[in-house]
Amino acid sequence: MADEEHNQNLEHEVNNQESKGFMKKAIDTTFNLAVAGGATALGLATVGPVAPIVAASFGGGGLIGGLIARKKNKENRKPISEIVNSSLKTYSAVNTVFYPMTLLGNATYPVAANLGAQAFGTGIGEYLGRSAWALTGFNGAFVGLFKGAYHLFDKKFNPKGIGKSIADGYGSLATRIGTVFAPGYILAANGIPDLSIGPYTAPTFAVNALPVGIYNEINPPGQAKEEKKPDFRSAASQISPQQLQQYQNLLAQNPGLAKQLAQQYRASPAPA
């Protein structure tokens, strides 16, 4: 009777935890949807439809890439709610920084073009100056502002730790964005803000942003592939007594081999 009551209490505790987890996910998604609505209004009010269109390409690309990565990585899948919320925060962050980045471009691209013209001549020099600035200073500013805005939405407008959030992974993300987003940067910097796709016209940034968002989720920047090392401790637990006796005889006849295996054993991580 006591065991039955204990099991019921335990089941109730588990159900409570599940309910709490569901409520937290629901609150997070509701919050991110509300922020996305406000960010859309901000983008429309400051630069017009181009902001939410580009933001939707970034966020939509992240959503698609996240779902693809989830399907490929069966051992460590991200929850769908986490993928959706991440794409919403990306959408909101891009909307938020679009206007200040537009102001920065308007103020700095003429200067970059002038410096390029002085160094390489009118025409090609201006093109090189604007392109170089787009891939370096402009890109660096975008990544910093984006990471800062993303932190605020991720932490529900709590600025604590924002500096660390911007610094963590900044170099790898800036390098990645500056590389895969180069076509959009260069075209927009040199006066081609829109591209024709059949009968439609889309912002240059939006065309480039969708595949960038997909690629970044499938292959996160700065994520080094870990080399798997043999786990001798785990393997040892599967050896039969007969095999163990054979190994003991072998090691007794080969002291050098025994020493080498002992060193590998000590270097091998303990099983989880």
Q: Are residues 197 and 260 in the same domain?
A: no
pLDDT of residue 218: 94
What lies within 8 Å, CB to CB, of 120 at 6+ separation is: 128, 129
- Residue (of 49, 41, 57) closest to 96 by Cα position: 41
In this structure, how many other beta carbons lie within 10 angstroms of the beta carbon of residue 87? 25
Q: Are residues 83 and 127 in the same domain?
A: yes
* pLDDT tens for each residue of 201-232: 999 999 999 999 999 999 999 875 544 444 44
144 neighbors 178 (Cβ within 8 angstroms): no
Q: Are residues 45 and 141 in the same domain?
A: yes
Q: Are residues 185 and 248 in the same domain?
A: no
* pLDDT tens for each residue of 134-182: 999 999 999 999 999 999 999 999 999 999 999 999 999 999 999 999 9
pLDDT of residue 230: 47
Q: Are residues 178 and 239 in the same domain?
A: no
Domain assignment present for 52: yes
Domain assignment present for 256: yes
Q: Are residues 41 and 144 in the same domain?
A: yes
pLDDT mean over 226-243: 50
Q: Are residues 28 and 64 in the same domain?
A: yes
Domain assignment present for 225: no
Domain assignment present for 199: yes
Total number of domains constituting the chain: 2
pTM score = 0.76
Structural domain containing residue 64: 2-218
Q: At what angle do helices 124-133 and 182-189 cross, to 10 degrees?
A: 130
Q: Are residues 51 and 6 in the same domain?
A: yes
Domain assignment present for 224: no
